Amino acid sequence: MARLPKRYVRFHEQFPAVGKAYEAYGEAVAQAGPLDEKTRCLVKLGMSIAARMEGAAKSHAHKALQAGASAEEIRHVALLAAPTIGFPNMMAGLGWVDEILIEHAS
């Protein structure tokens, strides 16, 4: 079961039509191509790390676990960022990922 951030839940409560439209948009994009759910989650994790979006990176790490990705696969996505976005940015992403993996393991 997905755990949703409190702010996201409040957003849906305050703006239900916008929230529904946003989720429908995301689903349409997900279904527009051949990538399976796990691959989509890992790609979105990599993009979130590259954009330095901590909340999104944590969310996509969580979703990747739910889609069947292993901890090793998720950490590999973070490591792959190093040559492209730099070591310090990769380390930030790896830290975010590790927070989710530790939380998931407990």
Q: Are residues 60 and 21 in the same domain?
A: no
pLDDT digits (tens, 9 = 90+) for 3-61: 777 888 999 999 999 999 999 999 999 999 999 999 999 999 999 999 999 999 999 99
Q: Rounded to an integer, what distance in angstroms lies between the CA atom of residue 86 and that of residue 37?
A: 27
Q: Which of 57, 65, 70 is nearest to 5 (CA)?
A: 57
Whole-number pLDDT of residue 24: 97
Whole-number pLDDT of residue 6: 87
Whole-number pLDDT of residue 2: 55
Residue numbers of the domain that contains 15: 1-33
Q: Are residues 48 and 4 in the same domain?
A: no
Q: Are residues 38 and 71 in the same domain?
A: yes
pTM beyond 0.75: the answer is yes
Q: Are residues 4 and 23 in the same domain?
A: yes
